[in-house]
């Protein structure tokens, strides 16, 4: 009991936090959380780096009126990287059933996380938010595990002891993706935005990481098929996530020259137009698969065609509004999630255009350090996508086709 706190708070714990805690806003956020959650604090020690490249350090005594509040405060600041000074190994218990975590399981974020095993800090693999952490039987490695994949007997981390999280830090910023407040306004210079995204794609390719595209059907409706095809041919698109609609309208366009019945050529509805997408699906189903349609020369252009020609891994995930669906569509959403999870490994940049459902689903699977550009004409969609707490996500409120046109032009330079 610290007499300086005048008997107000009998419950306290000392935590420490280090890194670029001032200019990355970690320290302010921690102090803010303590107050918001009903605690108070004493800064016991602070060592600020004199220059921006120096690491800073703070030791803080967190006080609360009850053990319960103290627990709440500590849990809350833990996600911002504040951990008790008295570190122990993390705790794990065995799952008592399939498909569910044991009570008290630790729920993951998308930030880099370490667990303490045998007094050593070890990186958690397959970082993904809203999972549990599985400790391997030898007790030497750890990885994120979705709830549905839990098997009885799995050793799952509980509580926050022996765990530490490394929230994103910001450095001196010189481009869009290093910028803290992701701009989602439609009132920004668009040429610059396109240039920055092109640059990030170039760097990703050079570094040997994969570029993932997540596309909605408006890419086809607005006339963006040829642009995406070019990105594939230029090697700037290495994995594709989409749904039945994108694939269907892409194939409809290749087979009938329409998209949702609207002629790509003159922009007017065509006769029977509303049926074209259904006939396109039926044609492919009769052939057995999109792949067969390409091999037999039925499908000769478009995004699906290019993906198959260039062996781009493709995950078409099903949804309840699908007609058909196309044979390649994975109709079980858990199976689709697993396929997506498989493919996000090694992704260094994700370009999400004109889709809320697939983009949010993908965002849930990506660790915070993967750069993401979310492009949508609806600011509400962009806001939802950029709310995932990553400083690496940039939202662009703009129209799909003109954006893609400019992006291809920029990458062709």
Q: Which of helix, strand or coil describes residue 42?
A: strand
Whether residue 396 contacts residue 353, with contact meaning beta carbons closer than 8 Å, is answered with no
What are the residues whose beta carbons fall under 8 Å from the beta carbon of 304, sequence distance 6 or more? 247, 250, 251, 254, 290, 294, 314
Q: How far is the CB of 280 from a second copy (least distance, A)?
A: 11
Q: How is 270-305 classified by DSSP, letter by letter?
A: -TTHHHHHHHHHHHHHHHS-HHHHHHTTS--SSHHH
**Which pair of structure tokens corresponds to residue 403?**
């954006």
Segment interacting with a second copy, rule: CB under 8 A, options 216-224, 232-240, 290-298, 304-312? 216-224
Q: How far is the CB of 83 from a second copy (least distance, A)?
A: 16
Q: Which of 17, 403, 408, 411 binds a second copy (CB under 8 A)?
A: 403
What are the residues whose beta carbons fall under 8 Å from the beta carbon of 207, sequence distance 6 or more? 348
Instruction: Give the residue with the Cβ less far from a second copy, 85 or 378.
Output: 378
Segment interacting with a second copy, rule: CB under 8 A, options 37-45, 82-90, 111-119, 289-297? 37-45
What are the residues whose beta carbons fall under 8 Å from the beta carbon of 270, sequence distance 6 or more? 256, 258, 261, 262, 263, 276
**Which pair of structure tokens corresponds to residue 330?**
């994975």
How many residues interact with a second copy (rule CB under 8 A)?
116
Q: How far is the CB of 313 from a second copy (least distance, A)?
A: 16
Q: Which of residues 257-286 bind a second copy (CB under 8 A)?
A: 259-260, 262-272, 274-275, 278-279, 281-282, 285-286
CA–CA distance, 353 with 267 (Å, rounded to integer): 21
Query: Does residue 357 interact with a second copy by CB under 8 A?
Result: yes
Q: Which of residues 240-259 bind a second copy (CB under 8 A)?
A: 259
Q: How far is the CB of 120 from a second copy (least distance, A)?
A: 26
Q: Which of residues 149-168 bind a second copy (CB under 8 A)?
A: none
CA–CA distance, 179 with 82 (Å, rounded to integer): 24
Binding track, positions 115-154, relative to a second copy; x by CB under 8 A: ---------------x----------------xx------
Query: Does residue 398 interact with a second copy by CB under 8 A?
Result: yes
Q: How far is the CB of 282 from a second copy (least distance, A)?
A: 5
- Containing H/E element for 41? strand 40-47
Instruction: Give the residue with the Cβ less far from a second copy, 51 or 311.
Output: 51
Instruction: Give the residue with the Cβ less far from a second copy, 234 or 268.
Output: 268
Q: Which of residues 294-313 bind a second copy (CB under 8 A)?
A: none
Whether residue 118 contacts residue 331, with contact meaning beta carbons closer than 8 Å, is answered with no
Binding track, positions 45-64, relative to a second copy; x by CB under 8 A: -x-xxxxx------------
Q: Which of 10, 13, 42, 143 binds a second copy (CB under 8 A)?
A: 42
CA–CA distance, 200 with 211 (Å, rounded to integer): 10
Q: Which of residues 330-349 bind a second copy (CB under 8 A)?
A: 331-334, 336-337, 340
Kindly tell me the burial class for residue 268, based on how many C-beta atoms sit within 10 Å of its own C-beta (0-12, 13-18, 19 or more). Answer: exposed
Q: Which of 153, 191, 235, 346 binds a second copy (CB under 8 A)?
A: 191
Q: How far is the CB of 37 from a second copy (least distance, A)?
A: 5
Maximum CA extent, the chain: 84
Q: Which of 11, 57, 166, 179 binds a second copy (CB under 8 A)?
A: 179
CA–CA distance, 406 with 190 (Å, rounded to integer): 9
Binding track, positions 222-241, relative to a second copy; x by CB under 8 A: xx------------------
CA–CA distance, 10 with 8 (Å, rounded to integer): 7
């Amino acid at each position: 009991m610290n007499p300086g706190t005048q008997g107000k708070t009998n419950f306290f714990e000392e935590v420490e936090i280090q890194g670029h805690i001032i200019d990355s806003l970690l320290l302010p956020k921690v102090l803010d959380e303590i107050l918001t959650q009903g605690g108070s604090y004493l800064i016991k020690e602070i060592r600020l780096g004199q220059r921006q490249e120096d690491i800073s350090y703070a030791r803080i005594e967190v006080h609360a009126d009850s053990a319960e509040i103290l627990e709440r405060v500590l849990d809350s600041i833990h996600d911002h990287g504040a951990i008790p000074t008295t570190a122990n190994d993390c705790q794990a218990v065995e799952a008592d059933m399939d498909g569910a975590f044991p009570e008290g399981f630790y729920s993951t974020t998308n930030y880099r996380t370490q667990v303490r095993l045998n007094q050593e800090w070890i990186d958690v693999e397959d970082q993904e938010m809203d999972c549990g952490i599985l400790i391997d039987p030898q007790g030497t490695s750890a990885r994120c595990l979705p709830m549905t994949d839990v098997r009885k007997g799995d050793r799952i981390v509980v509580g926050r002891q022996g765990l530490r999280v490394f929230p994103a830090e910001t450095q001196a910023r010189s481009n869009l993706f290093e910028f803290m407040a992701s701009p989602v306004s439609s009132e920004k210079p668009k040429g610059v935005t396109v240039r920055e995204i092109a640059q990030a794609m170039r760097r990703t390719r050079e570094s040997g990481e994969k570029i993932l595209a997540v596309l909605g059907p408006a890419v086809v409706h607005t006339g963006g098929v040829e642009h995406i095809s070019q990105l594939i041919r230029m090697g700037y698109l290495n994995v594709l996530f989409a749904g039945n609609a994108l694939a269907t309208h892409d194939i409809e366009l290749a087979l009938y020259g329409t998209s949702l019945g609207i002629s790509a050529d003159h922009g007017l509805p065509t006769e029977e137009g509303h049926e074209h997408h259904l006939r396109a699906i039926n044609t492919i189903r009769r052939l057995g698969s999109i792949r067969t349609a390409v091999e037999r020369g039925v499908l000769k252009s478009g995004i699906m065609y290019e993906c198959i020609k260039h062996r781009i891994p493709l995950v078409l995930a099903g949804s309840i509004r699908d007609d058909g669906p196309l044979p390649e569509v994975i109709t079980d959403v858990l199976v689709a999630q697993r396929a997506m999870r498989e493919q996000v490994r090694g992704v260094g940049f994700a370009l999400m255009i004109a889709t809320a459902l697939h983009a949010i689903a993908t965002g849930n699977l990506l660790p915070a350090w993967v750069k993401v550009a979310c492009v949508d004409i609806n600011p509400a969609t962009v806001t939802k996508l950029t709310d995932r707490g990553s400083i690496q996500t940039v939202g662009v409120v703009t129209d799909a086709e003109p954006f893609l046109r400019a992006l291809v032009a920029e990458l062709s330079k």
